Amino acid sequence: MNPEDAIFELIEAAAGGMPVIFADDNGPRPEGPYIMLAVRWSKVSGAEAGRVDGEGAQQVHHHDDAVVELQSFRATAYDALDELALRLRHPVYEDRAEALGLALFEIGRLQNIPVMRDTVRFERRGMLELGIRYTRVHSEFVGIIEIVTGTVTTSGGLTPGIETPFTATVVTAP
């Protein structure tokens, strides 16, 4: 599952039955109160390379710290996000985040920002930013060197050169 879908699943679970949609969806808005989710940006950490496995594949991974913006609309806009922030701190949702490969590391400022829908009518809107960390992993085949064969030759000095053949074999654990 990609990180954006995992974040969506976590927020949807903690939303208490309120519909959650992606901010860039083109479909109609839900009738009642709802939450709109957008992963606005992420800070990418340095990559770390893992060991080559027995099949010759090597993983590279890095951690991303994403800023997730939640906007809630209509009657319970502000209160719905306040409740969601509290739920995300509950061990049930902390465990769920971990199972999804996520870590909630920051709950930002909760804001009440009405939005104008036409020239005379405002709609209630709450906004909350979350900091969510996740890991991206990429694996590629790099190959394995199983046997190295060669010859070492010493030379120089007063004694004659010595040629010594060698073989090194990688032994894998059973």
Residue 152 is assigned to a structural domain of this protein? no
* 107 band by pLDDT with thresholds 50, 70 and 90: very high
Report d(CA 111, CA 82) in Å as an integer.
10
Residue 82 is assigned to a structural domain of this protein? yes
Angle between helices 91-99 and 3-14 (to 10 degrees): 160
* 173 band by pLDDT with thresholds 50, 70 and 90: low
Q: Is the model's pLDDT at 174 over the cut of 60?
A: no
Residue 148 is assigned to a structural domain of this protein? no
Residue 167 is assigned to a structural domain of this protein? no
Provide the CA 76 distance to its chain's centre, in angstroms: 30
β-partners of residue 102 are 134
Residue 165 is assigned to a structural domain of this protein? no
The pLDDT assigned to 171 comes to 67
Q: What is the CATH number of the domain that holds 39?
A: 3.30.2000
The dihedrals phi and psi of 24, each to the nearest 5 degrees, come to: -95, 15
Tell me the pTM. Answer: 0.75
Residue 129 is assigned to a structural domain of this protein? yes
Residue 147 is assigned to a structural domain of this protein? no
Total domain count, the chain: 1
| Mean pLDDT of the 158-162 span | 79
| Mean pLDDT of the 131-148 span | 87
The pLDDT assigned to 115 comes to 83
Residue 159 is assigned to a structural domain of this protein? no
Domain containing residue 134: 3-141
The pLDDT assigned to 82 comes to 94
* 172 band by pLDDT with thresholds 50, 70 and 90: low
